[in-house]
């Protein structure tokens, strides 16, 4: 008898490469086009409705596929570094146990319902700090950490 193998998730880099390769193939199939844009009252570029027009195709080459990841990291270097710094800082706090002990003491001094509110309050603080300090994109990297950390309290 043959045993069925369980589905194993492929490596994240393999998934990323497959997605990039599929998108590169789609550049040959999907017609290229663009909208005209004007600067709006807020200073942001806005699309002019009905201004879509087809442009000359510039399909991705095999070299574009391999350069996509390094070029993406270079163009988002600030966010990448910020995310790594936040992740490192969160790991230091996590390994020290200070945050976990402090939150546990606060929750143990309150009843069950108040403990839930404390976690909701702390969860919102994490995200508000991300917004206040200008980490609009990189504060999303805190979500998996804070979610798993707060779930460890088993309220």
Reported confidence tier of residue 150, pLDDT bands at 50, 70, 90: low
- What are residue 37's DSSP bridge partners? 47
* Confidence at residue 122, expressed as pLDDT on a 0 to 100 scale: 73
pLDDT tens-digit profile of 80-126?
887 788 778 878 877 888 877 877 777 777 765 666 677 777 777 76
Using DSSP, state whether 5 is helix, strand or coil.
coil
* Confidence at residue 13, expressed as pLDDT on a 0 to 100 scale: 87
What predicted TM-score, i.e. pTM, was given to this entire model?
0.56
Task: Residue 149: count other Cβ atoms within 10 Å of its Cβ.
Answer: 20
* Confidence at residue 100, expressed as pLDDT on a 0 to 100 scale: 77
By the 10 Å C-beta count (0-12 exposed, 13-18 middle, 19+ buried), 146 is classed as middle
Can you point out the beta strands (E) in the chain? Answer: 33-34, 37-39, 45-47, 53-54
pLDDT tens-digit profile of 37-76?
999 888 889 999 999 999 999 999 999 999 998 999 999 8
Distance (Å, whole) CA 107 – CA 101: 10
What number is the average pLDDT over the span 144-150? 67
Helix (H) or strand (E) holding 148: helix 142-151
């Amino acid at each position: 008898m043959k045993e069925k193998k369980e589905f194993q998730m492929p490596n994240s880099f393999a998934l990323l490469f497959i997605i990039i390769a599929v998108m590169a193939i789609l550049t040959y199939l999907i017609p290229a086009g663009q909208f005209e844009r004007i600067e709006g009252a807020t200073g942001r570029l806005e699309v002019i409705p009905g201004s879509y027009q087809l442009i000359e195709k510039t399909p991705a080459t095999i070299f574009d596929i391999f350069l996509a990841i390094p070029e993406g990291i270079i163009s988002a270097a600030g966010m990448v570094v910020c995310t790594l710094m936040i992740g490192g800082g969160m790991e230091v706090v996590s390994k020290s146990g200070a945050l976990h002990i402090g939150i546990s003491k606060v929750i143990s001094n309150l009843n069950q319902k108040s403990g839930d509110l404390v976690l909701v309050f702390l969860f919102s603080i994490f995200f508000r700090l991300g917004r206040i300090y200008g980490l609009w994109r990189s504060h999303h990297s805190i979500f998996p950490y804070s979610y798993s950390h707060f779930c460890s309290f088993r309220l």
